[in-house]
Amino acid sequence: MNDLAGKHFVLGLTGGIACYKAAELCRALIKEGATVQVVMTEAAERFITPVTMQALSGRPVYGSHDASGFDGREANGMPHINLSREADAILIAPCSADFMAKLLHGRADELLSLLCLARPIARVPLLLAPAMNREMWAHPATQRNMAQLAADSTTILGVGSGFQACGETGDGRMLEPPQLLQDVVAFFQPKLLAGKRVLITAGPTFEAMDPIRGITNHSSGKMGFAIARAAQEAGAVVTLVAGPVHLETPRGVERIDVKSARQMLEATLRHAPLSDVFVATAAVADWRPAAESEQKIKKDGTGQAPTVAFTENPDILLTVAQSERAQSGALFCVGFAAETNDLAAHAKAKRERKGIPLLVGNIGQLTFGLDDNQLLLVDKDGARELPRASKLVLARQLIAEIAQRTGATA
């Protein structure tokens, strides 16, 4: 899967130590299927050489020697026109405070700022990945400049926080290349759920027997996290309630970590009243030990296993589906069913039992822990299969289905 296949980027580098990250970003864009034309300011060339960026991009780099904007390599001598017209987007990473101020005022004293000014605004988006000292980032002038740039149809990708090259710690670091790549990919995804609030549960639950042992399952949470990413890419405000998994939170998603089914229920009920869509992908334990021992349950030497009594866990999906908002249609509920056999029959019965408009079924042992999946969409009209693909591809297909069924794409 190449999310940026066929896309062409102008990757602009301005002065800053974060230029070293631009090398990895360039590779990441190309690996995702894009072509990249690098344009560097004179200040950027003090941090990383054009030779490095040429080797990574596979194209001659336009740099400080092209400062006038006129170049013999171009048939018409106008790279600022040609480069901006060829691009699907211009991405400035790193973008210094000085360059942001230059863009704000429409200055065009070297090639990179010149082609930004010459770009067709309606067709070629401008994306900025700021990189600067924490005090420069927080300065009112920088914040004013960003606000005006955003008003001028520029997309600010935000900054990271942490240790800076100057020795200080705070906001202003350029985002890491994988984060920027995810933001760029998301930028080009259709905004099918723009303005909607989506609540998702993901992963297993852990039901404790004692302080050490407990009952859980093989769910990795990957499908739920992929759906959270796809919903965020589609423009939704996403809250992800996650059981105990070791996965990176998708960009722009609010994550709430829980362990047990009861904790997951509490977090879900807290956010459901504010949501438009609820997607229950979590593999919630049906049962939990009726009592949790305060101490580790030890062998007593008799060879007899301890007797553990179980009690049923709350049904999170059913509870939400029976809420007033869900019953009125204000909250669209999507359930998941992980089965081991007879998927279609079990999924159909579960959908009817829960009283929800859409149930997504899969075979547990063929998906838990894997990066791909195969889904069965079950509604009142029957069942339809989504063929095996990566979980992110399937997540995007599911989000498109939800958008269509809720009228969000109308």
- CA torsion, ordered 288, 292, 293, 299, to nearest 10 deg: 0
Per DSSP, 306 falls in state P
Write down the catalytic residue from 95, 116, 166, 333: 166
| DSSP notation for 81-112 | HHHHHH-SEEEEEEE-HHHHHHHHHT--SSHH
Task: Decide if 79 contacts 54 (C-beta within 8 A).
Answer: no
Pick the closest to residue 114 from 72, 78, 166 (CA basis).
78
d(CA 16, CA 45): 10
Tell me whether residue 166 is one of the annotated catalytic residues. yes
- CA distance readout (Å), 59 to 81, 135, 369: 18, 36, 39
Structure-block tokens of residue 276: 């438009």
Task: Decide if 148 contacts 103 (C-beta within 8 A).
Answer: no
Pick the closest to residue 202 from 251, 114, 267, 138 (CA basis).
267
Q: Could you tell me how far CA 184 lies from the centroid of its own chain?
A: 10
Pick the closest to residue 158 from 125, 183, 193, 122 (CA basis).
183
Using the structure block, give the residue that is written with the tokens 């013999």: 72
d(CA 286, CA 309): 14
**Residue 270 host element (H or E):** helix 261-271
Burial class (CB in 10 A: 0-12, 13-18, 19+), 309: exposed
Structure-block tokens of residue 359: 């149930």
**Positions marked catalytic:** 166
